[in-house]
Amino acid sequence: MEEEIKHTIEEGVSTAPGAEPGTLPEGGAAAPEASKTSGARPSSGASFISALEKSVESLSKALGTALEDRANVVMVRVNNEALRHLDMLVEAEVTKSRSESAALLISEGIRANQALFDKIGEITRQIGELREQLRQSIAANE
């Protein structure tokens, strides 16, 4: 997500899903042909604000999802780089605390790796079934 925001800021272009690199966000005006040939970037004012608004909206949705039903407490140690990223979210007022930052990043990490977690869940279920078969087999031999 941070890379998406950096790209948006650096390029002043849309990073919306399905958008072609170098294109303006939906509703953005095309740059005049003269600026394309002179090597100048497309008008970055309106397109930058539009892309930034979309990024903030996307982040707000992700944050809302991550902060739903947070009834469980987990203590975790993090390295300096991870702490710097947690603090970055707090400093930018994306989250209110390191706890919210961690919840957001965990939620987004799970969402980004959902296929992996589905596979792990299936294998874990199979392991549970095998353990139960083993228990039943041992109990039958007693």
pLDDT tens column, 73-120: 999 999 999 999 999 999 999 899 999 999 999 999 999 999 999 999
Distance (Å, whole) CA 50 – CA 45: 9
Q: Has residue 27 been placed in a domain?
A: yes
**Report field, pTM of the whole predicted structure over 0.85:** no
Q: Has residue 26 been placed in a domain?
A: yes
What is the mean pLDDT of the segment spanning 12-17?
42
Range of the domain at 61: 1-68
Q: Mean of the per-residue pLDDT values for the chain?
A: 76
Q: Has residue 41 been placed in a domain?
A: yes
In this structure, are residues 1 and 108 in contact, taking their beta carbons and an 8 Å threshold? Answer: yes
Could you tell me which residue, 140 or 38, shows the higher pLDDT? Answer: 140
Q: Has residue 39 been placed in a domain?
A: yes
Q: Has residue 82 been placed in a domain?
A: no
Tell me how many domains the chain contains.
1
Q: Has residue 38 been placed in a domain?
A: yes
Q: Has residue 2 been placed in a domain?
A: yes
